[in-house]
Amino acid sequence: MPDLDFAFFNLINKDKQGLFYQKGILDRLTPIFFSPRVKNLIELPELHCQGCNIVLPLGQANIQVLEPSKQHRLFQRSYEVARDFQLQAMAVDRRLKDLLLEPEEGLSLIFGDNFIKALAYAIIKKSLSNRDINKLILVGDISGLSEFVEAVSNLNVPVSIQNPYPSRFEIMTYRLMYEKGNAVSNSQINPRKWEKGNLVIIFDSQYNNLSIGIPDVMLLKLTNESQGLASALELELSSKEVNPLLCNLAPIMETCLLAQEGFSIRDREQNMLIKEDRLSFRCLEQLGNKAGIWHLFLDKVA
């Protein structure tokens, strides 16, 4: 059995169609015909990591029609494959977050939220050093947004949080403005008011097709569908039949960076190897610096 650094769990890219895949039949046949399996190995020489691609041979819509108990059984089988390789964490396609996967004891599921924030933070710092950036505009939501906003607002650049539901962020904005003294604002999404010198980062997939006709507005999309961020890494995923989108790349990269440091992710209170604050996006950004991987992405702001 090969010595692996990570496992990546995902579905096939296209839903299977036909009578055979209707709910009643699929519920009965899934445990027999559609178990997760190791499709191939993924090599990431830039990170000196090797992992396995665990594929469940159904599409996302196919999974959603299954009874929850059948979903749970399939996911548990994928966890067993990862545990067979003695892995403590498994990277998971970000588009599966809403399925509420429940890992077994001793295995963590990584969806790449911290990697996306770490990448955004590295790009923001690089942009501030070589471009005339007068405002940072964050569009949409991502897990742990408050911590991220506070960190980037400490880089001495005004931050505008733009979201279709700005009331959700009023308390966070108030705390940062009046308790921390940071220049943070909160509003509805309004591209018409974006100006020259703004750096706009989009986290939300529903705005992935948003385009800007304003010169000198720097636009960075870090949504599930984003592609073309790191060609060398994406080419490797494509060669192993993994869709080279950020929804796949981000969890794989985060899992690899943590694995390289030998971080234990489960049993945090009992295991003194790692503390909670070392699992933040700032920790991951530092691990990316140590691994020397940010240059693979930073040519976007050169």
Nearby residues of 82 by Cβ (< 8 Å), 6 or more positions away: 7, 9, 54, 90, 107
In this prediction, residue 22 carries a pLDDT of: 67
What's the gap between Cα 152 and its chain centre? 19
Q: Which phi and psi (to 5°) does residue 202 adopt?
A: -105, 125
In this prediction, residue 123 carries a pLDDT of: 95
What does the alpha-carbon distance between residue 78 and residue 60 come to, in Å, rounded to a whole number?
Answer: 16
* Residue from 149, 154, 163 nearest 120 by CA: 149
What's the gap between Cα 129 and its chain centre? 25
Domain ranges, ordered by start, for the chain: 6-111, 114-221
* Residue from 232, 59, 223 nearest 141 by CA: 223
Radius of gyration for the chain, computed over Cα atoms and rounded to the nearest angstrom: 20
Nearby residues of 37 by Cβ (< 8 Å), 6 or more positions away: 54, 55, 57, 81
Beta-carbon neighbour count of residue 41 at 10 Å? 12
In this prediction, residue 18 carries a pLDDT of: 67
In this prediction, residue 34 carries a pLDDT of: 77
Sign of CA dihedral 274, 278, 279, 285: negative
Over the chain (302 residues), the average pLDDT of each successive run of 10 is 86 73 68 81 92 89 80 86 89 86 81 96 93 93 91 94 90 90 92 90 88 77 94 93 94 93 51 46 93 85 47
> How wide is the angle at C-alpha 93 spanned by C-alphas 149 and 31, nearest 5°?
145
Angle, nearest 10°, between helix axes 281-291 and 246-260?
Answer: 80
Fold exhibited by the domain 114-221: Rossmann fold (3.40.50)
In this prediction, residue 180 carries a pLDDT of: 86
Q: Which phi and psi (to 5°) does residue 204 adopt?
A: -100, 130
What does the alpha-carbon distance between residue 101 and residue 99 come to, in Å, rounded to a whole number?
Answer: 6
- What is the Cβ-side half-sphere exposure of residue 132, based on CA atoms within 13 angstroms? 4
Q: Is 43 helix (H, G, I), strand (E, B) or coil?
A: strand
The continuous run of DSSP H or E covering 44 comes out as strand 37-44
In this prediction the pTM is 0.90
DSSP conformation class of 103: P
Residues in the chain: 302
